[in-house]
Homo-oligomer: A and B are copies of this chain.
């Protein structure tokens, strides 16, 4: 076999040989081996992935938050009151500390204020325009370049083996759908996320869905297994996350019968990406403890990945 051929035959070329890659390949081989004890029918091969920090970068800000920040700046002339109201004031003054101090509530407020009052189609257009022009502050590249190449390969590898791959993320569902097919090969109907309420109305006889500044569902922690049950109705066979917000999804996956794969992406690479377990974008503590105890797959970005982004 030529080297080129061998490289082509490896479905996970951006993964270093090691325990993490081994655990993934062994799992996939086991559940797809019709003559083995761990075989699972294709219809039950469901894999769920967190998005922020698991499939793409989430530092220094969730990408959706960077979008909300840019929207606040763009909309500020129409909202003079934002100059003296938090969390908007912090955004307009570039005061990251004050922004961090508003916590999850402040972040949600930013998202609600900037994502509401328009139809779902208008939102889609605005988000697409933003992705076409905005750039990541450190890598100076479009945010669509910030997908983790090894995870993109993992998604493709699972699909090639009959899995249906889903995103199950705290991110806004309509925001993620703008890029999910292009970045991950995941169609909109396989993206589950947080959502705002919408109102159906007829405008000159044409029905539209208007986005309201009110949270409908926050897809984090306990919300993840709940959403999986509501949207998918089957327990995942494999699940990946990167923080305690994914802990319940991993527990729910692990509690199924037969062989399962639970994975955590551990941000250990300050040089090529970021190094953190605790940040204002969440923390990886309890989930890591349980992962260690139960032998779940902990993926060290530094050690397990040959490259992190496709552009590297």
B200 in contact with A225 (CB, 8 Å): yes
Give the interface segment out of A14-22, A56-64, A148-156, A188-196: A188-196
Judge if A86 is at the interface, Cβ distance under 8 Å: no
Provide the residues of chain B in CB contact with A234, threshold 8 Å.
Answer: 188-189
Give the distance to chain B from A78, nearest Cβ to Cβ, in Å: 26
Q: How far is the CA of A299 from the CA of B297 in the complex (A)?
A: 54
B200 in contact with A248 (CB, 8 Å): yes
Q: Mark A159-200, 1 if CB is under 8 A from B, else 0.
A: 000001000000001100100000000011101000100111
Provide the residues of chain B in CB contact with A177, threshold 8 Å.
Answer: 233
Judge if A209 is at the interface, Cβ distance under 8 Å: yes
**Closest residue to A188 on the B side, CB-wise?**
B233
Provide the residues of chain B in CB contact with A164, threshold 8 Å.
Answer: 189
**Which chain A residues (86-129) contact chain B, with CB distance < 8 Å?**
120
Q: How far is the CA of A202 from the CA of B226 in the complex (A)?
A: 13
Judge if A7 is at the interface, Cβ distance under 8 Å: no
Judge if A292 is at the interface, Cβ distance under 8 Å: no
Judge if A35 is at the interface, Cβ distance under 8 Å: no
- The list of the 8 closest CB pairs from A to B, nearest first, reads A188-B233, A200-B222, A189-B232, A207-B251, A177-B233, A207-B255, A207-B252, A200-B225
